[in-house]
Structure formats: structure tokens, C-alpha cells
Amino acid sequence: MKLPIFLDNHSTTPMDPRVLDAMLPYFVEKFGNSASRNHAFGWAAEEAVEQARKQIAKLINADSKEIVFTSGATESDNLAVKGVLEMYKEKGTHIITSSTEHRAVLDTAKSLEAKGLATVTYLPVDKFGMVNPDDVRNAITDKTILISVMLANNEIGTINPVQEIGKIAKAKGILFHCDATQGVGKIPVDVQAMGIDLMSFTAHKMYGPKGVGALYVRKKNPRVRLVAQMDGGGHERGMRSGTLPVPLIVGFGKACELCEQNMAEESARLTAMRNRLQAAIMDRLEESYLNGHPTNRLPGNLNISFAYVEGESLLMGMKDIALSSGSACTSATLEPSYVLRALGVGVELAHSSIRFGLGRFNTDDEIDYTIKKVIEIVTKLRDMSPLYEMAKEGVDLKSVQWAAH
Amino acid sequence: MAYSDKVVDHFNNPRNMGSFKKDEEGIGTGMVGAPECGDVMKLQIKVQNDTIVDAKFKTFGCGSAIASSSLATEWLKGKTIEEAQQIKNTDIVQELNLPPVKIHCSVLAEDAIKAALADYQKKSGDKTEAAQ
């Protein structure tokens, strides 16, 4: 086993070596511009791009013409929300989204609101982080033009009832955008069955290269149109100008193909591994709390709060394991994770949270090592924690008058 | 964010971590911070003849908060009450090389020292001091 261990697969994933192999010919040898229509260099590039488009579309049950390449999911989210609003603003300017979306959606919505271009409803989530489809239905007005709800949350892994939301959107004739960045490649995604009109996703979360993503844009029933957010050569059906990064796209395609081929096996393996990690930690450590949905969550996701210890110190004590925390000790505001807060997790438990993100290349040995380390460090830091000491003495921490600073 | 070697050292090998027994004489306790802010420090001093002979801490917080309080206990030992009053958060920032986002950890440590000293003075029965 090699250290450090990478257990932060929601932030990014290592590239699969098979993806790199597929990409390599497209840097030096087949370097053409896929938009060059008049020579063999361009044709070779175009062929590779179209092949990748098919691989990507197949994974989500779309038509290859419905894939618009972008630089990543953040750009896809921006293009979807801003592009739709600009196209359909005569019909209305009301957008419905949820409070646990990625900031690429939330901050896009907020910026449109701040400019007076849109009104936005931010739906609450339940204690597991799920959006209630009834809330979506009730939020719809005659001015609503877009519903944007994520497939799976990046912090807690909770999977939303996207299919039901898609049905509601369809029935009301409202476009449905889904940020599926964490879900595509990990769980089955079918834009037809789920009633999705626009969908953001990216290669580097599924063992592909960084720097390329896609926006699925439905071509029929309905035909979705949007205003490009960048002017230029009119690539990608006029929705996103810019020379296509052919090697990255080839890698994206290969990554999708591998995910499709291995999804059932990989999902079962990661779920079992995750469950073992969860059980071993939570059985051994009292007052550890699962954040997110107990079952309806991404296979590789585990988010736990360890009462009485602070997240950043936990990470510091496990330097050889790459993890992430909902603590915000370094942020200027001292505000911990807005996602955990939206579930109703107390601020102090939000400060105490750790996200484990398991992926394709993690091994059982790494999980064993992690279990041992987590138990060690939580025990050590609780020994050091005045809150744990007080709780053990029977002090109700909520009754203490703290001097907030 | 990279931690300084000194912060890492205090975090891995905390000095004077723990609590004094409830019935020990000459103890002053300071507890500052709040769980919802992500850090709480408990700092204790043991005083004999106006000199701090021992100090202990327990901290809930990030590595820099733990290091700041660990360092504070080291500095407190052997100092008189008067000398202990002079410890400034800026001294801690300098010693631990704390980055700007972590300065609040050093402020908290200074507050904890002040609170422990005040608690001792209050308990030691000095009626004039008790007024505070």
C-alpha cells in the first residue's frame, strides 16, 4: 500500500490509464482542428470527436447531437441557467432551484437575482438532503421557466428524486436542468426516463481528464434553445464557441465508455467498501453521526460528523489520507458547510464533519488503514477536547453560555 | 494550506494536555470560544506563591488553535501572575508563524490566559480583585 491515500474522489478522480492511452495519439500525431473541413487532419479530429460524442451520449441515453462540449460542469451550469434565461425571458424570469446545489448553480442564480434579471426560489431539503417534489410543484408560478435540481450532492452523496421532478416539469411545460456532475458514471442516468432537458457533467469526476465537460441539451420534445454565453465561431450548434479540445474529448468519451461497461460491478464494490468503512468507524466511535441519506446515496460517498472534535484538526491528524471536511476554520466567515446546515445539522456538528470519497482505485488495504487512523485520531482529539470532557461529566453543552467570538 | 513545523509539532506532541483534579488548590480556569465557532479552549493554571507552577489545556479546534493553547501552557509555566498578563497574541502568531486566517486562534489563546488568571484571582479570595 502506498501513502498518501486518495479518499477525496468527489473533488476529482485520478485518470484511468486506459483513458490516457486513448488520448495520447491526439496531441502530436493527430493534432488537427475538428472544425477544419477541408483536409485529413481535420477529418481525423472530427471523427474522434464524433466517436466520443457517441460514447458520452450512450452513457446517458441521449443522442450524440445533444452533447455540447464545455470546459467543465461549472461552465455547463452557467450556460444552462444563463442561456435558458436569456432565451426565454419573454416567457418569464422565475427559476426554481434547491439550497444544496453546487455553487456553480447557486451563485449563478444569485448573480442573476442581484442583476435584477431573475427571481429565484431556493427550495429547502429534508434532513437527508432530499428535495421534495411537492415543494417543486408548489413553487411553480406562471413565470417559472427553469427548474434546476442536482442529481447527487457533492458533500453528502444524497440522490434526489430527479425522475419525479422531471415529470412535474414536463407536465407544466417548464425546462428541467440537472447538475449531474457527481452522478454520471457512478449511477445509471437516463435523460429520457428522468425527463431531463439540460444536464451538466464533467470528465474529471469519472476518471477522465480535467478541462472538459458537457451540457446535454435536448433536441426534441421539447427542442431546447439557449443563448450562447461566448461569441465566436459558432461551434457546438452555435451554443458554445471555441475550438474543441480534441484529446480531452477523446478521453471524456473513453471515460464514459469505461464507466458504462463497469458500472454495475464498480458500484457494488464501492458500496460494499463504503458500508464496511461506515460500520467499522461508527461501531467503534460513539456519537458519530451519518450526514446524508442512509441508503439513497452515491456508492462511494460517506459523510460523518464526529461530535466534540473539529474537522480541520481531524484532517491534520490524518495527513496521509486525502479527505475533505465541512469545517470552515480557514474561511473568513467561520461558517461551516451550507449543505450540512441546510439538512438541519447543528453548526458544531457541521464543524466536525469529514467526507470520505471512495473511487475506482481504492483498495481494501487502504480502507483498513483509514479505519484504524480515524479511530486513533478521533480518540486522541476527544481526549484533548474540553467539550468531550464536559459531556462525559454530564454537562449539557447546549445549556452553557458560550462567548461567541 | 501548509502548517508551520512548529504548529505541526505542537499538534502531534501537545504539551501539558489535560485537566487538573477538581479538588486541587490554587487552580485558575479559563474557558473561551464557542462550539458553533469551531473552537473552544480550556486553559488552567496552578499557582503557588504568586508563581504559575503548572498549566494544562484542552482544546476543541483546528491545529492552530491546539498549537496556540499548547504553546501558551509552555510559556505560562514559571511565570508570575504579573508576567503572565504580558503574554500577547502577537507573540503567539510570531512564534507559530500563523497565517492571517489563523490569527483568531492566537487571540483566543490570549483570552484564555486572561480568563484563567482572572479566575484564579477571583478564587484566591482577594476581595478587591473579586470585584471584577
Q: Is residue B93 within 8 Å of residue B110, measured between CB atoms?
A: no
Residue A226 placed within a domain: yes
Q: Is residue A40 within 8 Å of residue A386, measured between CB atoms?
A: no
* Residues 6+ away with beta carbon under 8 Å from B128: none
Residue A309 placed within a domain: yes
Catalytic-labelled residue, pool B52, B55, B92, B105: B105
The answer to whether residues A286 and A168 belong to one domain is no
Rounded-to-integer distance, Cα A398 and Cα A336, Å: 18
DSSP class of B22: T
On whether any CB of chain A is under 8 Å from the CB of B1, the answer is yes
Per-residue pLDDT, averaged over A52-64, amounts to: 98
Please judge whether B61 and A310 are an interchain contact, meaning their C-beta atoms are less than 8 angstroms apart: yes
With a cut of 80, say whether residue A108 has pLDDT above it.
Answer: yes
Q: Which CATH number fits the domain that encloses residue A374?
A: 3.90.1150.10
Residue A313 placed within a domain: yes
DSSP class of A196: -
Rounded-to-integer distance, Cα A138 and Cα A387, Å: 43
Q: Structural domain of residue A285, as residue ranges?
A: 5-9+263-393
Please judge whether B62 and A336 are an interchain contact, meaning their C-beta atoms are less than 8 angstroms apart: no
pTM for the complete prediction?
0.94
Per-residue pLDDT, averaged over A177-200, amounts to: 98
Name residue, grid cell 469529514: A354
Crossing angle of helices B63-76 and B89-96, rounded to 10°: 110
* Residues 6+ away with beta carbon under 8 Å from A379: A285
Residue A402 placed within a domain: no
Q: Model confidence over A24-40: pLDDT tens digits?
A: 999 999 999 999 999 99
B105 is catalytic: yes
Local confidence band at A384 (pLDDT 50, 70, 90 cut-offs): very high
Pairing outcome for strands A321-322 and A5-6: parallel
Strand, helix or coil at A187? strand
Residue B114 placed within a domain: yes
Give the residue on A whose Cα is nearest the Cα of B99: A330
A204 or A396: which leads in pLDDT: A204
Q: Which of A210, A240, A258 is the last residue of a domain?
A: A258
Please judge whether B58 and A330 are an interchain contact, meaning their C-beta atoms are less than 8 angstroms apart: no
With a cut of 80, say whether residue B126 has pLDDT above it.
Answer: no
DSSP class of A401: -
Residue A405 placed within a domain: no
Please judge whether B58 and A386 are an interchain contact, meaning their C-beta atoms are less than 8 angstroms apart: yes
The answer to whether residues A100 and A61 belong to one domain is yes
Residue B129 placed within a domain: no
Q: Is residue A66 within 8 Å of residue A81, measured between CB atoms?
A: no
Per-residue pLDDT, averaged over A249-269, amounts to: 98
Q: Model confidence over B16-70: pLDDT tens digits?
A: 999 999 999 999 999 999 998 889 999 999 999 999 999 999 999 999 999 999 9
Q: Which residues of A touch B (CB under 8 A)?
A: 308-310, 312-313, 316-317, 327-332, 334, 336, 346-348, 351, 383-389, 397, 402-405
Local confidence band at A400 (pLDDT 50, 70, 90 cut-offs): confident
With a cut of 90, say whether residue A379 has pLDDT above it.
Answer: yes
Residue A288, strand partner residues: A306
Q: What angle do CA A13, A8, A11 make, to 5 degrees?
A: 60
Pairing outcome for strands A94-98 and A144-148: parallel
Q: Which of A204, A223, A258 is the last residue of a domain?
A: A258
The answer to whether residues A129 and A198 belong to one domain is yes
How many CB atoms are closer than 10 A to CB A326? 24
> How remote is the C-alpha of B13 from its chain's centroid?
16
With a cut of 50, say whether residue B127 has pLDDT above it.
Answer: no
B126 vs chain A: nearest CA distance in angstroms? Answer: 25
Q: Structural domain of residue B74, as residue ranges?
A: 5-124
Give the residue on A whose Cα is nearest the Cα of B17: A384
Residue B83 placed within a domain: yes
With b for 16 or more beta-carbon neighbours within 10 A and e for fewer, the A113-132 pattern comes to eeeeebbbbbbebeebbbbb
Rounded-to-integer distance, Cα A291 and Cα A155, Å: 9
- The percent of residues above 70 in pLDDT, for chain A, comes to 98
- The percent of residues above 90 in pLDDT, for chain B, comes to 84
The answer to whether residues A218 and A305 belong to one domain is no
Q: Is residue A4 within 8 Å of residue A320, measured between CB atoms?
A: yes
The answer to whether residues A350 and A383 belong to one domain is yes
Backbone angles phi, psi at A324, to 5 degrees: -135, 155
Q: Is residue A4 within 8 Å of residue A319, measured between CB atoms?
A: yes
Local confidence band at A401 (pLDDT 50, 70, 90 cut-offs): confident
The answer to whether residues A120 and A192 belong to one domain is yes
The answer to whether residues A116 and A160 belong to one domain is yes
Q: Is residue A287 within 8 Å of residue A379, measured between CB atoms?
A: no
With a cut of 70, say whether residue B128 has pLDDT above it.
Answer: no
Residue A166 placed within a domain: yes
pLDDT score recorded for residue B37: 85
Pairing outcome for strands A198-202 and A213-217: antiparallel
Residue B88 placed within a domain: yes
Rounded-to-integer distance, Cα A57 and Cα A35, Å: 20
With a cut of 90, say whether residue A331 has pLDDT above it.
Answer: no
pLDDT score recorded for residue A333: 57
Residue A69 placed within a domain: yes
Taking one residue from A and the other from B, the number of pairs with CB-CB distance under 8 angstroms is 95
Examine the predicted complex and report whether its ipTM is higher than 0.90: yes
Local confidence band at A334 (pLDDT 50, 70, 90 cut-offs): low
Q: Model confidence over B63-88: pLDDT tens digits?
A: 999 999 999 999 999 999 999 999 99
What separation in angstroms does the CA of B24 have from each of A187, A385, B41?
60, 21, 20
Q: Which of A199, A228, A258 is the last residue of a domain?
A: A258
Rounded-to-integer distance, Cα A319 and Cα A317, Å: 6
Give how many domains chain B has, as a whole number. Answer: 1
A290 vs chain B: nearest CA distance in angstroms? Answer: 19
Q: Model confidence over A66-76: pLDDT tens digits?
A: 999 999 999 99
Catalytic residues of A: 329
Give the residue on A whose Cα is nearest the Cα of B44: A386
Give how many domains chain A has, as a whole number. Answer: 2
On whether any CB of chain A is under 8 Å from the CB of B41, the answer is yes
On whether any CB of chain A is under 8 Å from the CB of B112, the answer is no
Q: Model confidence over A8-27: pLDDT tens digits?
A: 999 999 999 999 999 999 99
Please judge whether A313 and B61 are an interchain contact, meaning their C-beta atoms are less than 8 angstroms apart: yes
pLDDT score recorded for residue B131: 47
How many CB atoms are closer than 10 A to CB A267? 17
Q: Which three cell numbers stand for residue A323?
A: 479527505
Residue B104 placed within a domain: yes
How many CB atoms are closer than 10 A to CB A331? 11
Q: Which CATH number fits the domain that encloses residue B83?
A: 3.90.1010.10
Give the residue on B whose Cα is nearest the Cα of A388: B60
Please judge whether B66 and A384 are an interchain contact, meaning their C-beta atoms are less than 8 angstroms apart: yes
Strand, helix or coil at A222? coil
Residue B16 placed within a domain: yes
Residue A51 placed within a domain: yes
The answer to whether residues A122 and A252 belong to one domain is yes
CA dihedral A273, A274, A279, A280 (to 10 degrees): 60
Q: Which CATH number fits the domain that encloses residue A26?
A: 3.40.640.10
Please judge whether B11 and A347 are an interchain contact, meaning their C-beta atoms are less than 8 angstroms apart: no
